[in-house]
């Protein structure tokens, strides 16, 4: 019988070759998972618009070819790249530095972890077969996702952060991802965070890189938020203008656990940030916000999923998108309430401002509900700046550009307010101001 070989895009063929060539090079101990992940990815391929979850983000056409995984950069390259990093630069924090997807142990504060916090480079954890790794089974929906599977298949580096029971970590831990170099490359990092019962920690993430290089980062953060634990998270995507940036945050929430995560996007020619929340314990709470600013021909996709499996979960999502130029904003959100998850309270809102003629916004807010005693809702709005508000401000003497900026800032600011860490919040407000200033 003739075998049927599906047509592969150059990028898919490239990825297969790269996988074969590099699979032995990376940390041992996960070769089976890696192999399985790649076989999974190979079977589905790079998703096109025909795949419902990628209806508005065609990865097959975004990846013209697959860039080779980046090598560990030289100390000088790393130092130069890190010294130019701007995200949360002045902030007092414990830093873990990644350049081209590799943990730079020399510049990272690995030894300075406060009491109750243990940080292990992922390569080390994997080769030792760290006991914690067993607890990090991914959220189901993430493991069915080709982006996450690619991350597993090419996983090169990362960190394992453990916060002991009851430890309340004061300062933030800043994961600083910087891209460097003049040639296209790809990265695959994974940061695993385990918060034991009653622990509290703040993780900040920044992603930056050169403008003229079409590098391809794929970063994943997996979090286990133990019972009564609190995880706070703010993330800034300030990738280069040519970057195709893929990222996933998946979290499993224990009883009365809380998560707060805010994602701010200004970079990347195409970016997709996926958030998967699994409400495994009762009465868990989540705040998931996003502020996205786009211009030129950028496309930014925010894909969110909350899977309520236990009673009394509360989730609040607020996603704000501002579209300028001929950019495209995409929001796909889904709240699933399983039959057991009675008394779930979920509210999801996506609002978009289109500032230009050619801007586009695609919204797909879904509800999938199998329990009757719930209060779930979603809203989606899309439109131009309110003429009346503009008029009001201009009448009071503000030039049009400034009036617009003020309104846009207020619009986006609402999503950022949720960031508990004051310094991080102010820095993100600064990001919005800088974006508006550059707009002129």
Which of the ranges 108-116, 120-128, 208-216, 378-386 carries the binding residues for other proteins, by CB under 8 A? 378-386
* Among 368, 399, 401, 402, contact with other proteins (rule: CB under 8 A): 368
Based on the shown chain and the rule CB under 8 A, indicate whether residue 359 belongs to the binding site for other proteins. yes
Structure tokens at 88: 């949360």
3-state secondary structure of 86: coil
| Chain length of the chain | 440
By CB under 8 A, which span of 146-154, 282-290, 352-360, 393-401 interacts with other proteins?
352-360
Q: Which is nearer to other proteins, 166 or 383 (CB)?
A: 383
Contact 179, 187 (CB under 8 A): yes
Which of 355, 393, 419, 428 binds other proteins (CB under 8 A)? It is: 355
C-alpha to C-alpha distance for 9 and 386, rounded to whole angstroms: 44
> Of these, 22, 77, 107, 356, which contacts other proteins (CB under 8 A)?
356
According to the binding rule CB under 8 A, does residue 20 interact with other proteins?
Answer: no
Residue 428 as a binder of other proteins (CB under 8 A): the answer is no
- Choosing from 77, 107, 360, 409, the residue that interacts with other proteins (CB under 8 A) is 360
Smallest gap, in angstroms, from Cβ of residue 50 to other proteins?
10
What is d(CA 138, CA 135) in angstroms, rounded to the nearest whole number?
9
- Name 96's bridge partners: 175
Shortest distance in whole angstroms from residue 381 CB to other proteins = 5
CA-CA distance, 108 to 178, in Å (whole number)? 13
48 binds other proteins (CB under 8 A): no
CB 153 within 8 A of CB 34: yes
Can you tell me the distance from the alpha carbon of 66 to that of 288, in angstroms, rounded to the nearest whole number? 31
- Of the pair 20, 373, the CB lying nearest other proteins is at 373
44 forms part of the interface with other proteins (CB under 8 A): no
Task: Map the footprint of other proteins across residues 231-290, applying CB under 8 A.
Answer: none
> By CB under 8 A, which span of 20-28, 106-114, 246-254, 382-390 interacts with other proteins?
382-390
Q: How many CA atoms lie within 13 A of 284 on its CB side?
A: 31
**Would you count residue 318 as binding other proteins (CB under 8 A)?**
no
Stretch that binds other proteins, among 187-195, 196-204, 218-226, 360-368 (CB under 8 A): 360-368
* Cα-based distances in Å from 294 to 88, 211, 379: 20, 15, 21
294 makes contact with other proteins (CB under 8 A): no
Q: How many residues sit in the footprint of other proteins (CB under 8 A)?
A: 36
Residue 83, judged by CB atoms within 10 A of its CB (0-12, 13-18, 19+), counts as: exposed
In the structure encoding, which two tokens stand for residue 405, read together?
Answer: 């900026």
Binding to other proteins (CB under 8 A): which residues in 149-188?
Answer: none
Q: Determine which residue in the list 23, 86, 241, 378 makes contact with other proteins, applying CB under 8 A.
A: 378
Does 370 contact other proteins by CB under 8 A? yes
State the Cα–Cα distance between residues 103 and 125, nearest whole angstrom. 13
CB of 375 to other proteins, least distance (A): 5
Nearer to other proteins, 204 or 376 (CB): 376
Paired strand residues for 398:
none
Q: Name, in order, each residue with C-beta under 8 angstroms of 224's C-beta and a sequence gap of 6 or more.
A: 135, 136, 193, 194, 195, 251, 252, 254
CB of 329 to other proteins, least distance (A): 9
Alpha carbon distance 247, 437 (integer Å):
27
Shortest distance in whole angstroms from residue 359 CB to other proteins: 6
Provide the β-strand partners of residue 69. Answer: 186
Provide, rounded to whole angstroms, the least separation between the CB of residue 315 and other proteins: 14
Which one, 261 or 303, has the nearer CB to other proteins?
303
Within 13 Å of residue 283, how many CA atoms lie on the same side as its CB? 5
Which of 239, 301, 236 is closest to 262 using CA atoms?
236
DSSP string across 188-241: EEEEEEEE-TT-EEEEEEEEE--TT---EEEEEEEEEE-TT-EEEEEEEEE--T
Residue 107 binds to other proteins (criterion: CB under 8 A): no
Query: Which of 367, 394, 418, 434 forms a contact with other proteins (CB under 8 A)?
Result: 367
Question: Measured in whole angstroms, how far is the alpha carbon of residue 383 from the centre of its chain?
Answer: 26
Q: Which stretch binds other proteins (CB under 8 A): 78-86, 164-172, 291-299, 368-376?
A: 368-376
Q: Is 51 near other proteins (CB under 8 A)?
A: no
Site residues (CB under 8 A) for other proteins?
A: 52, 55, 339, 342, 352, 354-384
């Amino acid at each position: 019988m003739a075998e049927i070989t599906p047509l592969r895009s150059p990028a898919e063929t490239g990825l297969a070759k790269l996988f074969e060539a590099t699979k032995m090079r990376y940390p041992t101990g996960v070769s089976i998972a890696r192999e399985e992940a790649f076989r999974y990815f190979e079977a589905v391929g790079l998703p096109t618009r025909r795949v419902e979850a990628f209806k508005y983000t065609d990865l097959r056409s975004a990846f013209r070819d697959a860039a080779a995984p980046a090598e560990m950069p030289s100390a000088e390259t790393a130092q130069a790249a890190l010294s130019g990093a701007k995200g949360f630069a002045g902030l007092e924090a414990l830093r873990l530095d990644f350049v081209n997807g590799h943990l730079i142990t020399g510049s990272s504060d690995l030894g300075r972890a406060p009491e109750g916090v243990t940080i292990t480079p992922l390569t080390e954890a994997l080769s030792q077969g760290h006991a914690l790794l067993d607890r990090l089974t991914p959220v189901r929906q993430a493991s069915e996702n080709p982006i996450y599977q690619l991350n597993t298949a090419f996983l090169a580096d990362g960190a394992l952060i453990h916060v002991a029971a009851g430890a309340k970590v004061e300062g933030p831990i800043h994961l600083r991802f910087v891209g460097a170099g003049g040639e296209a490359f790809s990265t695959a990092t994974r940061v695993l965070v385990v918060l034991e019962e009653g622990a509290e920690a703040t993780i900040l993430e920044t992603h930056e890189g050169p403008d003229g290089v079409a590098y391809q980062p794929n970063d994943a953060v997996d979090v286990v938020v133990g019972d009564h634990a609190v995880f706070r998270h703010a993330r800034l995507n300030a990738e280069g203008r040519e970057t195709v940036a893929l990222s996933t945050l998946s979290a499993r929430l224990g009883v009365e656990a809380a998560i707060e995560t805010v994602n701010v996007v200004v970079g990347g020619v195409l970016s997709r940030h996926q958030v998967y929340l699994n409400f495994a314990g009762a009465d868990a709470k989540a705040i998931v916000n996003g502020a996205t600013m786009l211009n030129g021909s950028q496309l930014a996709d925010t894909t969110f999923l909350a899977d309520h499996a236990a009673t009394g979960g509360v989730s609040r999502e607020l996603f704000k998108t501002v579209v300028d130029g001929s950019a495209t904003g995409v929001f796909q959100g889904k709240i699933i309430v399983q039959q057991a998850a009675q008394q779930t309270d979920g509210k999801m809102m996506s609002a978009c401002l289109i500032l230009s003629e050619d801007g586009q916004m695609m919204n797909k807010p879904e509800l999938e509900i199998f329990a009757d005693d719930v209060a779930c809702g979603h809203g989606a709005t899309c439109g131009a700046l309110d003429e009346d508000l503009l008029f009001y401000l201009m009448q009071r003497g503000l030039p049009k550009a400034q009036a617009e900026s003020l309104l846009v800032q207020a619009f986006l600011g609402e999503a950022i307010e949720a960031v508990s860490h004051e310094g991080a919040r102010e820095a993100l407000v600064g990001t919005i101001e800088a974006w508006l200033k550059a707009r002129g």
